Amino acid sequence: MEQKTFALFPEAAFGPALNSVGIAQALTAMGHKVVFLSDPGFVEVYEGYGFEAHPVALSEPMPPEQMAKFWEDFINGHIPNFRKEPIDQIDNYVKECWEAIVDSAKWAQKDLPGVLDKIKPDVIAVDNVILFPAIKQYGVPWVRIISCSENEIEDPAIPPHLSGMAENDTEGHAAFRARFEEVIKPIHDDFNAFLAECGEDAYKIGEFFEASPYLNLMLYPEPLTYKRDNPLDPARFQYLEGCVREDAPYEVPEFKANNDGPLLYVSFGSLGSGDTDLLKRLITLIGKTRYRALVNVGDYKEEYSDIPPNVIIDSWYPQPSVIPQVDAVIHHGGNNSFTECLYFGKPAIIMPYVWDGHDNAMRVQETGYGFKSHRYDWEDEELIAKIETCLTDPDMKARLEKISTHMQGCEGPVKAARLLTGLLDGDK
């Protein structure tokens, strides 16, 4: 096939952005051109991996450094809400998120037609939770990437997206859906009015996006999927079993204490690192144990002092290069961390705070690949017991080895690239 141009449009968060980088690397290796459509604050991320990136305004224009901090500030403003159960986050964090997301679709509609005309892509792949009408209407195959939990594609038999509920808690599912639809209705009505302006049909309550008629790529690992009333058509829905990018190599440094102890990696992602009180509590606890730990503290490194000799903190780690070298991971349940731990066969303790972290934490626990932990309501002895189980339980180890072999055999980025180029197989 001659060189084609693929436009990738991930949402302005490091999870979707870096998953898309993995796909872009695989497409480039096949000889194709990849161009990123990007929130202005993320342009440098894609350029740092060697890709062309075109800014698309997703909010009122502001300096790039201010734009990059928008979601960080948004998250930090909601830290008190992280103590709440998912259903009690609907009328605060979730509501404000959807208000911002709908605004982003409206802003994008101003830039996207011109940017697409400039790039002239042969295929567009969008990783977001909302429809951008200009992409659907551009006239080339468009692909939806679902980098969050697979229940982002709803089904009446499975837990609702963002609920963090157990698979069989049908009463809880109904209560969550009812509350979500009640709170979201004014925002949803506003979005449907925007769709009408763009010549698109209204969505039913609670939906802000549709499945692509061409192809939908699920980053979720298929062995953890839910049993649906309406199974997804494999001709349109394909599981990538994660989408792990190639990143910089990492050599574990020498620790001043416990240098031969089990190695933990602690990260709440680029946004969750603002919860410094929780990270400080974990660092203090780990300092009293036989373990070592690498801790991602994001942009808040200057707020830490008196670090125990068996702990090393840093502002950033090349996570796909770190996780293979550790024994267990404590993370927030973001889809990158969720899938990378499974991909490399590492047990995880997930302390979720928002969005699909709740779903991923519950799913890891109910399928036996790790534990869900409340973010704040835990005792030291309780957490140590979970870490010890992660390090020593033979059944968990066997399950993780099996799923790691399965996921690595899939080669998610390569599979995604093959499926994307397959949309153009008739165009030679």
How many helices (H) and strands (E) are present in the chain, helices listed first?
15, 13
Same domain, 186 and 303: no
216 and 87 inside one domain: yes
* Long-range CB contacts (within 8 A, 24+) of 390-397: 390/327, 390/328, 390/347, 390/348, 390/349, 391/262, 391/327, 391/328, 391/347, 393/347, 395/368, 396/347, 396/368, 396/369, 396/370, 397/347
Provide the whole-model pTM. 0.91
> What average pLDDT does range 192-218 have in this prediction?
97
Reply yes or no on whether the pLDDT at 422 is more than 50: yes
Give 356-383 pLDDT, tens digit per residue: 999 999 999 999 999 999 999 999 999 9
Do 229 and 280 lie in a common domain? no
| Bigger pLDDT: 425 vs 427 | 425
- pLDDT level of residue 428 (50, 70, 90 thresholds): very low
Statement: residue 29 has pLDDT above 80? yes
13 in a structural domain = yes
- CATH code of 150's domain: 3.40.50.2000
72/204 same-domain check: yes
Residues 102 and 205 in one domain: yes
- Is there a domain that residue 257 lies in? no
**What mean pLDDT is predicted for residues 121-150?**
96
How large a percentage of the chain has pLDDT more than 70?
Answer: 98
**Pick from 251, 264, 242: nearest CA to 405:** 242
Q: What is the rounded distance in angstroms from the CA atom of residue 211 to the CA atom of residue 136?
A: 11
Are residues 114 and 194 both part of a single domain?
yes
* H helix intervals, 198-275: 269-272
Q: Of all residues in the chain, what percent carry a pLDDT higher than 90?
A: 82
Based on the domain organization, do 330 and 415 belong to the same domain?
Answer: no
Domain assignment present for 399: yes
Q: Specify whether 200 is located in the same domain as 277.
A: no
For the stretch 236-266, pLDDT in tens is: 999 998 888 778 899 999 999 999 999 999 9
Q: Are residues 108 and 143 in the same domain?
A: yes
Report how far residue 4's alpha carbon sits from residue 316's, in angstroms, rounded to the nearest whole number. Answer: 34
Spatial separation of the C-alpha atoms in residues 291 and 266, rounded to whole Å: 12
Classify 291 as helix, strand or coil.
coil
Distance CA 68, CA 1 (A): 37
Instruction: Give 270-294 pLDDT, tens digit per residue.
Output: 778 889 999 999 999 999 999 999 9
How deeply is 250 buried, as exposed, middle or buried, from its count of CB atoms within 10 A (0-12, 13-18, 19+)?
middle
Q: Which tokens go with 29?
A: 């290796």
Q: Does residue 382 sit within a domain?
A: yes
What total number of domains does the chain contain?
2
Q: Give residue 314's domain range.
A: 263-409
Same domain for 200 and 168: yes
Q: Are residues 276 and 156 in the same domain?
A: no
**Structural domain includes residue 401:** yes
Amino acid 68: pLDDT? 61
pLDDT in tens, 91-103: 999 999 999 999 9
Task: Say if 341 falls within a structural domain.
Answer: yes
- Residue 368 forms part of a structural domain: yes
pLDDT at 74: 78
- Of the pLDDT bands very low, low, confident and very high (cuts 50, 70, 90), residue 67 is low
Same domain as 218, residue 150: yes
